[in-house]
Amino acid sequence: MPSLKVIRKRITTVKSTQKITRAMKMVAGARLARAQARITALRPYAVKTQEMLRSVADSVRTTAEEQVDDGVGTEEEVLHPLLKVRPEKKVLYLVLSGDRGLCGAFNANVNKTVEREWRAKLETLGSAEEAFVEFATAGKKGRDYLTRRGAKIEHEFAVYDGLDLAKSRQVSDYVVSRFRKGEIDSVYVIYNQFKSAITQKVVVERLLPLERPVVSAEGESDAVAAANAQKTSFLFEPNPKALLERLVPMYIETAIYRALLDSQASEFGARMTAMDAATRNAKDMIGRLTLVYNRARQAAITKELMEIIGGAEALKE
């Protein structure tokens, strides 16, 4: 059995650790409340922007297909650059992870999903000429994980300190610019979607090119099935293509900003949950160590008493 001094020192160490984990839990909880409020405020705007954009984009695609069929022009001339679907050979993954650890499986879940998607995409691309997969990262944990596995990291963003729409715009401008130039054929974002403080879900979304609305068996879009009961025709001024010139970059910017906020809130929630568990574990450990300490102290006292009684008996003889 360890000495009383060793047990006391260990109890003191665990108490110090408990104070740290409790403080980290409180800080993460306060930051989570602010991040959650920002997500709640942004989501309705992001959802409506997505619905409007997909509606306009579908209208423009339909018009472009009709014009191409009528011989008015080619698809390159009539379709918006960010709506063009090219053969997927050059793929960019935007990976949103954390800068720090001590947040449970938050970073590990993202990293495992990234590697799985990466390997699957390489198998899909096969040995196609000029085919490659590259990465842009926001968060040191994702960057380090991919670097150790020999991934091609094209760009790294530092956005989480003072996260705002301007920093999201930096990421959006980079992604849109490379897609317009034809340097990449598709862009996917991988991040933790915030559900609650104890639940985060890793999602993989395609940012570019923009996808058509998903059509159900009844022929209605899943996103607007309820609204189709009162379907309305819209007039676009000056025209749908001019509207897309402003709307598409704004949507990409908003989608990235929402993903960054989701990732940040998920990290705070995961850290708060992890630190709460660590604090409770420290409390249990202190209880067990205190019990061991009391037993050891009682055993030492009993031993001393036995020695005293034995000595007294020896003197009587």
Mean of pLDDT over the chain: 82
Q: Tell me which of 91, 103, 184, 270 is the catalytic residue.
A: 103
Strand order in the sheet with 132-138: 153-157, 132-138, 90-96, 186-196, 199-208
Using the Cα atoms of residue 134, residue 159, residue 263 and residue 188 in order, give the sign of their dihedral.
negative
> Which residue type does 189 have?
V
Q: What is the pLDDT of residue 60?
A: 67
Q: What is the pLDDT of residue 269?
A: 92
CA 222 to chain CA mean position, Å: 25
pLDDT at 227 (0 to 100): 44
Contact 191, 203 (CB under 8 A): yes
- Residue 220 in domain: no
**Predicted local distance difference test score (pLDDT) of residue 278:** 93
Q: Does 103 qualify as catalytic in the annotation?
A: yes
Cite the DSSP H helix spans in the chain: 4-70, 75-78, 106-125, 140-148, 165-180, 240-316
- Asked, for residue 288, whether it belongs to a domain, the answer is yes
pLDDT tens, position by position, 53-69: 777 767 666 665 555 55
Same domain, 105 and 140: yes
Report the CATH number at residue 138: 3.40.1380.10
Angle made by CA atoms 265, 266, 272, in degrees to the nearest 5: 90
Number of structural domains the chain divides into: 2
Distance from C-alpha of 265 to C-alpha of 278, rounded to nearest angstrom? 20
Range with the largest mean pLDDT of 24-28, 79-83, 125-129, 296-300: 24-28
Mean pLDDT of 97-118: 91
Q: What is the CATH number of the domain that holds 9?
A: 1.10.287
Indicate if the pLDDT at residue 296 is higher than 90: no
**For the residues 227-239, what does the mean pLDDT come to?**
55
* Amino acid at residue number 240: P
Residue-level pLDDT at 63: 61
Residue 50 located in a structural domain: yes
Q: Is the pLDDT reported for residue 31 higher than 70?
A: yes
Share of the chain above pLDDT 70, in %: 82
- Residue 64, pLDDT score: 58
User: Which of these ranges, 174-178, 291-295, 303-307, has the smallest mean pLDDT?
Assistant: 303-307
Q: Is residue 194 part of a domain?
A: yes
Contact 276, 25 (CB under 8 A): yes
CA distance 86 to 138: 26
Q: Which residues pair with 200 in a beta bridge?
A: 194
127: left (phi over 0), alpha (psi -120 to 50) or beta: alpha
The Cα 210–Cα 187 span in angstroms is: 10
- 258-292 pLDDT, tens per residue? 999 999 999 999 999 999 999 999 999 999 999 99
Establish if 71 belongs to a structural domain. yes
Same domain, 39 and 173: yes
**Which residue reads 């020695």 in tokens?**
307
136 is a domain residue: yes
Domain shared by 201 and 168, yes or no: yes
Kindly state whether residue 222 falls inside one of the protein's structural domains: no
Q: 129 and 62 share a domain? A: yes
Considering the domain architecture, whether residues 127 and 171 belong to the same structural domain is answered as: yes
When pLDDT is averaged across residues 206-213 and rounded to a whole number, the result is 74
CA angle 32-278-159, nearest 5°? 35
Distance (Å, whole) CA 35 – CA 20: 22
Rounded Cα–Cα distance for residues 137 and 261 (Å): 15
pLDDT at 77 > cutoff 50 = no
Range of the domain at 286: 4-19+276-316
- Is the pLDDT assigned to residue 158 strictly greater than 60? yes
Same domain, 172 and 255: yes
